[in-house]
Chain A
Amino acid sequence: MKPAVLTGEHFMTGDVACAEGALAAGCRFFGGYPITPATEVAEHIAGRLPEVGGTFIQMEDEIAAMASIIGASCAGVKSMTSTSGPGFSLMMENIGLAICTETPCVVVNVQRAGPSTGLPTQGAQGDMMQARWGSHGHYDIIALAPSSPQEIFYLTIEAFNLSETYRLPVLIMTDEMIGHISERVVIPEAKKIKTVSRPGPKGRKDRFKPFEPGANGVAPMAHAGEGYHIHVTGLTHDERGYPVMTVEAQKAMMAQLMGKIQRNLDDIIRTEAYRLEDAEVVIVSYGVSARTSLAAVDEAREQGIKAGLLRLITVWPFPEAQIRNLAKRVKGFVTVEINLGQIHLEVERCAAGKAPSFLVGHPGGTIITPERVVEALKESF
């Protein structure tokens, strides 16, 4: 066995750092299907998992890949898959199954330009709304957006911790640029990495209700084969996990699925402020576009524009309160993202007319330049 945590200083791509973050978080199952620009996540972890006693399976497609990680998680193993655009679309139905069955797992989407096959080797951030609403029905999801290989390492660990804490699939919405750039990645000692595992059940096995919330509002999880009576279904179910086809059961289940997120927004939402204290105009951005925005803030400040950046690390649930509060005191918002207006719509919604909101978007294939952002700041305000 080799160490699961590669303590030390490395020069690695975002995709490889993501795989190493998963291993450091305790991921021991990966079911996947190769697709550019996410292939290197699978390629790297395929080599590493057998070294640490884990399992890698290349599945027949992304539908099966998503199904496989749900199954592995139900058996008690922290599990992950990675994909890009078309594969993410195929995973949607089973992401809904993981939501409904409250199965912890991590899904990485290394975004490329779409729609459809699009530009397979070139990046974008066009799947942000799909991440929010792509599976049918109403639900809450957690999605994180790293801006560097170092951050993707840590956020992959965070994604596992959040998914284990709240029992749901957590999405890492990265992009081709972050997936493929190489930078310094410092991996700490294993004992300094905080990992969370789902709490197990206590008490009599025959009286256990697999979907009865525990103290923190989330149900402890019994695994297949541990002797508890469990039933897992995508149908609307009660606390026993049995299908109940009533309006009341639907209401209760939805309140549980939504409530565990809505009650814990402070724990889940992470943002980073850059020169925001005295900012008059606020750039909202995430992923690789946040790096463009950092450069743009400095450039704008040099030209006398009081700009600041709110970098979204957690994109879903959306940091509504922060945008609302900023809207009361700033001249306006500019959202920078490689799509034609997705998170921009959220910023506009939360600003609610208190401050104007503008978009610096791009149809995909490359990244946005700082100059374009500075230009937009000048034109808009």
Chain B
Amino acid sequence: MARGKRKAARQEIIFTGFGGQGIILAGRILGKAAVIGDHRESTLVQAYGPEARGGACSAQVTIADQPIHYPYVRTPDVLVCMSQGGFDKFIGQMKEGGTLLIDQDLVQLRGFGGRFFSIPSTRIAEELGRKMMANIIMMGFFTAITGAVSVDAARDAVTGSVPKGTEEMNGTAFNKGYDYGLAVLKGREKKATGKAGA
């Protein structure tokens, strides 16, 4: 999973949260990064209900080196949760040994004992002055932790997908999330080597 390692031939990812958080946009950025930047195959399925805001929503993204036939994600390798409702709904579907990413202020793990990485993405976004950029921060965090897409492809997809005039601001948000992710990984590496050396 860590950076530099060979990418898996097929990865399934679910982004979930509530309507208005930019969950679908995060999925679109991820798919675009894989297709346009990394020249791989990707399919984004956006699931939504009749409500536009506040309802549960999810973006299912498959990234692969081969054509993707069946487009839906059933057992995600990576689950990204930006709401408690999304976590409750999808945690049972996650592949065994899969990777969970959460906004730590919005999601309680409720006994989940697997591998997870957390970031206060909404709080960081608020500090940057735009709560609505939490999804972009999460996208940066996701890129650092999973390496599912290359950082250049992801950053280009961010700036190419956000409203004109907000590219720089969103680029900064992406970098914040990415750097936070790198720091988390580094912390864990240190911890691991520390243990090994003891």
Contact = CB atoms under 8 A, between A and B. Distances in A.
B121 interface: no
B43 A369 contact: no
B72 A11 contact: no
Interface size class of A (residues with CB under 8 A): 20 to 34
Q: Which of the listed residues A120, A121, A181, A366 has the most CB atoms from chain B within 10 Å of its own CB?
A: A181
A183 B36 contact: no
B45 to A, nearest CB: 5
B167 interface: no
Contacts of B71: 177, 181, 288, 291, 367
Q: Which of the listed residues A291, A369, A370 has the most CB atoms from chain B within 10 Å of its own CB?
A: A291
A370 B28 contact: no
Given A180-B46, A182-B44, A11 B69 contact: no
A370 B31 contact: no
Given A292-B69, A294-B69, A11 B31 contact: yes
A207 to B, nearest CB: 55
A181 B24 CA distance: 11
Question: Binding site of A, secondary structure by majority: helix, strand, loop or mixed?
Answer: mixed
A291 B31 CA distance: 19
Nearest to A149: B43
Nearest to A292: B70
B155 to A, nearest CB: 15
A10 B44 CA distance: 13
Contacts of A10: 36
Nearest to A366: B72
A367 B28 CA distance: 21
B32 interface: yes
A12 to B, nearest CB: 9
A177 B44 CA distance: 10
A11 B48 contact: no
B161 to A, nearest CB: 9
Nearest to A290: B69
Q: Which of the listed residues A177, A182, A292, A366 has the most CB atoms from chain B within 10 Å of its own CB?
A: A182
A295 B70 contact: yes
Given A11-B28, A11-B36, A120-B50, A180 B45 contact: yes
Contacts of A121: 48-50
Contacts of B36: 9-11, 184
Interface string A170-200: 0000000100111110000000000000000
Contacts of B35: 9, 11, 183-184
A370 B68 CA distance: 13
Contacts of B69: 291-292, 294-295, 298, 370
A28 to B, nearest CB: 27
Nearest to A298: B69
Contacts of B68: 183
Given A9-B35, A11-B32, A370-B69, 7 more contacts: A10-B36, A177-B71, A181-B45, A183-B35, A184-B35, A184-B42, A291-B69
Interface of A: 9-11, 120-121, 177, 180-184, 288, 291-292, 294-295, 298, 366-367, 369-370
25 contacts: A9-B36, A11-B28, A11-B32, A11-B36, A121-B48, A121-B50, A177-B45, A177-B71, A180-B46, A181-B43, A181-B44, A181-B71, A182-B28, A182-B43, A182-B44, A183-B41, A183-B43, A184-B36, A184-B41, A184-B42, A291-B70, A294-B69, A295-B69, A298-B69, A370-B69
